[in-house]
Structure 1
């Protein structure tokens, strides 16, 4: 079995359903210049690997219109995702994950290191993504960490359906605080505020000092 990532231009779809409709419309279309460039680079890098280390399930890959389907073995998901962010983001391309119904569009992104407990690392955060992710955090890794630099981060852990722990750290153990919340939309709003450097709503919470 393969795990699929699909690249499509930023802004052509706002939902998974719209992404699927866009992909259907690309069938039979000649490859766009950008999609062809990305396909060529993915193929080149895969060709440099030994056969047993190939990160593509099917090679070479070809673009259809503005879309590029990238199938990989399950044990190469992290490598492929990182490669696609490297190649796609500077070209204003989004990554669609049909298995998780995630549309990761770089529009409006803030470059931070995001660790999603169930899916690994991502190089940026958007308002759409944080609102998509927070309500769906689940075992075995029901947490999200957004890090601006070492020891400067905000994070949340979902204890159960209606309970989130929200923490932030400003560089040292004496600047590590936490609060308990019940509304996932509010948690997402606060994480997005922190990511943008807006402390106005964060400052309205009653924070407890966290001793680690």
Structure 2
């Protein structure tokens, strides 16, 4: 993998982008505390999801700590759509949810 290529990290390690996000997420987020982090090769730019007992925390960060947000979603289809949009540089998924800015790193 090249440094500037998107990567996917789960509790099992790091890999390239999957061909089918729903199948991948179904496996990667199967149990509580499972996670997926997708980075685009730039520092502090990522989107991630974590299974918290069947509810999913979805976060994205677009650089600085002031651009780090979190929301809760109820299904993996929403996560797959958000990841694909984020990787394409689109942010339509942002308007579809109520986001909370994370301030722990300010």
**TM-score, normalised with respect to structure 1:** 0.43
Tell me the CA shift for residue 138 of structure 1. 3.7
- Structure 2 match to 1:3: none
Runs of 4 or more, structure 1, over 6 Å off, are none
The RMSD of aligned alpha carbons is 2.1
Q: How does 1:64-103 map to 2 (within 5 A)?
A: none
State the Cα deviation string for residues 46-95 of structure 1 (Å, max 9, x = none): xxxxxxxxxxxxxxxxxxxxxxxxxxxxxxxxxxxxxxx79xxxxxxxxx
Match of 1:125 among 8, 14, 17: 17
Specify the alignment match of 2:9 in structure 1. Answer: 115
> Do 1:135 and 1:185's aligned partners in 2 also have CA atoms closer than 8 Å?
no
Q: Which has a greater percent of strand? A: 2
Q: CA deviation at 1:140?
A: 7.6
For the 8 Å contact 2:34–2:50, the answer to whether it is kept is yes
**Residue 190 of structure 1: aligned partner:** 82
For residue 164 of structure 1, what is the aligned residue in structure 2? 56
TM-score, normalisation: structure 2: 0.81
User: Which has the higher Rg, Structure 1 or Structure 2?
Assistant: 1
Distance change (3 Å), C-alpha of 1:126 and 1:202 = farther
Runs (5+) with no aligned partner, structure 1? 1-84, 87-110
Q: Which has the larger helix fraction?
A: 1
Whole-angstrom CA distance in 2 between matches of 1:127 and 1:180: 25
Secondary structure at 1:201's aligned position in 2? helix
Q: Any conservation in 1 of the 2:39–2:47 contact (CA below 8 Å)?
A: yes
Task: Tell me by how many angstroms 1:204 deviates.
Answer: 2.3
Deviation at 1:133, TM superposition (A): 2.2
Q: How many residues align?
A: 100
> Which one of 107, 131, 134 corresponds to residue 25 of structure 2?
134
Greater relative CO, 1 or 2 (CA 8 Å, sep 6+): 2
